[in-house]
Chains A and B, each alone.
Chain A
Amino acid sequence: MPLLDVIDLKTYFRTDDGVVHAVDGVSFQVEKGQTLAIVGESGSGKSVTCMTIMGLNDRRNTTSEGQALFKDRDLLQLPPDEMRKVRGSEISMIFQDPMTSLNPVYTIGSQLREAVMLHENVSKQVANRRALEMLKAVAIPRAETRLDDYPHQFSGGMRQRVMIAMALINNPDLLIADEPTTALDVTTQAQILKLMNQLRRDFDSAIILVTHDLGVVAETADDVLVMYAAKAAEVGTYEDLFYRPEHPYTWGLLNSLPRLAAEGADLKPIPGTPPSLLRPPSGCRFHLRCPYVFEPCIPEVPELLPVTDDDPDHRVACHLAHDFREREAHDLLHDLMAEQR
């Protein structure tokens, strides 16, 4: 049984302009100790999916449907106070911008202690010891002296380490990381990803990693969910997505990766922009930008179905015939490999 089983998750925001279907029927699973990467453009519903699982959307203007089964409980049905107890102890979350994610008026030590003391009835001394251990675990130099420092005395990378320490301090089963490296420079990015990989092993936590960076996916993910315009386009293992991609949008993502080796090669973006989620397009939501669009794409919404009968976990939502997709993917990867050489 998976650790987290999300079934047909929908999240709607009521706005002055109408109802935004920010997540529109997404299903996926996270296995214990594994990393699931959620990939997609800005506004594809990645972050909202995570916020819904965490129960952090603004209740006043948000409606959520579907199920998020976590250790025999449906997180969406938990009363607010029960959900509060889950947050930070069984599921924790880190965010994109470490510069603003820590409260500027409290010391790091006080914020780490708070995370412990919100969930366990321990003394300040015990909480302080745990805080110190965690700072050491995330490799903050001279951790003893830094507990009494304020967030503004830390660099961006160090602050993200503190956030990770805070998220893991209660040894959660699941860590949701919403673009944890996007705001960091490339070398710091690599360090943080390495740290997360290592901590996942040490703490045996599962990770949901939201990113728009396929490089990050390649370094960390076991499974990948590709989202486009609030829906799942393709789900599969890391190998499925990188070696047997089936959805034209996934191809577009792979093809748009910047290449170092190819001399004079331009960036190859996917033409067009993501559709409005206030009035999403009919049929397949990618049809406006898809180079392979044909008749059924416009009226009919493609279902997320297994690619082949013997591999039920690799699923794709596309009307194109499997044989055709296989050939196209093969050609694309062949070209990409050729360019790399």
Chain B
Amino acid sequence: MIRYVIRRLLWACVLFLAITVLTFVMFFVIPVNPAAMVAGKAATPQEIAHVEHLLYLDQPVWKQYLHYLQQLFVHHSLGYSYGTRQSVNSIIGRAAPITASVVIGGAILWMMVAVPVGIYSALRPRSKGDRVAMVSVLAGISAHPVWIGYMLSLIVGYELGLLPIQGYCNLRGASPGQTCGGPIDWFTHMILPWITFAILYSAFYVRMIRSSVMETLNEDYVRTARAKGASERRVITRHVLRNAMLPVVTMLGMDIAVALGGAVFVELVFGFPGLGGTAIQAVNQFDLPTISGTVIFASIMVIMFNLIVDLLYAWIDPRIRLT
């Protein structure tokens, strides 16, 4: 098991290095002169040349890459935004908790819905309950999250006035310029975004869990468990679920990781200054350090969650541990 963990960790490092190469390449692929961006519109050629020197742009490519890596690994710096001159670390540091609030809360919500409904549907295929669940799934997959978000915001927030229409509140208390803050405000402002975010995913996950459980129910070892005299409840909870959850765990890790890079639609509808919005804004302004910063942050999330999934997987399925 320990050798397996070490191997996975080494792989994660290799993967991360590969991603830094790719993001670095981005600086050259996008047809913008960074020095001109930084120096401003009215800059003279001399000023631009000076900035080029400051940004190491007059050095050979490999030296630039090493400098980039040095900034990243030694100074843990993702650079400074061309637009606002703020450090990309602080930009991401502000945006990431917002996106994480949406994604992690949403993931908990969607699993709380999808696991029981998926199992119920698998155990009673073609029953009325299953049909209702499957129609809801179809609706959940078909409805666009932006539309769902605006509808919830309109009906629950505006017409009924039950929950805030939009906006994000800091969990740790009001930050300067904000009127709301603290856990209760944070929670009430998160409810609609969570629901919006969870609807699409719970639909996907109900379907996935349903088919995975149905498939596992046909396994020979499930018949063996019944032949041993295990009750139906025990057969499901002990023999079916653990095996049926293998593909679900994989998908869950990937989906959470990808969404942490920016839950764009939900952030857009509810006016959350999260990572998705930050990245889109950066792309519009050719703000390369911010773009590469969000990409690197997202890839760290993907790699980290992949690692967690791999370890979880090995814990669930002993066949993985030895290979």
**Which A residues are within 8 Å of any B CB, using their own CB?**
54, 56, 81, 84-89, 92-93, 95, 97, 100-105, 107, 114-115, 118-119, 150, 152, 163, 166
A196 to chain B, nearest CB (A): 17
A54 contacts which chain B residues (CB < 8 A)? 227
Question: What number of residue pairs across chains A and B have CB atoms under 8 A from each other?
Answer: 68
Q: Does B316 contact A84, Cβ atoms closer than 8 Å?
A: no
B249 to chain A, nearest CB (A): 12
Q: Does A101 contact B319, Cβ atoms closer than 8 Å?
A: no
Q: Does B227 contact A103, Cβ atoms closer than 8 Å?
A: no
**Interface set, chain B 204-231, CB cutoff 8 A to A:** 219-221, 223-231
Count residues of B near A (Cβ-Cβ below 8 Å): 20
CB-contact partner of A105 in B224, B234, B318, under 8 A: B318
**Which B residues are within 8 Å of any A CB, using their own CB?**
219-221, 223-231, 234, 239, 242-243, 316-319
A85 to B242, CA, bound (A): 24
A89 to B227, CA, bound (A): 10
B237 to chain A, nearest CB (A): 13
A118 contacts which chain B residues (CB < 8 A)? 228-230, 234
A41 to chain B, nearest CB (A): 22
18 A-B pairs (CB sep. < 8 Å): A81-B231, A87-B229, A88-B227, A88-B228, A88-B230, A89-B229, A97-B220, A101-B223, A103-B225, A103-B243, A104-B318, A104-B319, A105-B318, A118-B228, A118-B230, A119-B229, A152-B318, A166-B228
Q: In the complex, what residue of chain A is closest to B219 when comparing beta carbons?
A: A100
Q: Does A104 contact B221, Cβ atoms closer than 8 Å?
A: yes
Q: Does A101 contact B316, Cβ atoms closer than 8 Å?
A: no
A104 contacts which chain B residues (CB < 8 A)? 221, 243, 317-319
B316 contacts which chain A residues (CB < 8 A)? 105
B152 to chain A, nearest CB (A): 38
Q: Does A105 contact B229, Cβ atoms closer than 8 Å?
A: no
A97 contacts which chain B residues (CB < 8 A)? 220
3 A-B pairs with the lowest CB-CB distances in the bound complex, closest first: A88-B229, A100-B220, A88-B228
A152 to B319, CA, bound (A): 7
A62 to chain B, nearest CB (A): 14
A102 to B227, CA, bound (A): 12
A92 to B242, CA, bound (A): 24
A88 to B225, CA, bound (A): 9
A330 to B220, CA, bound (A): 43
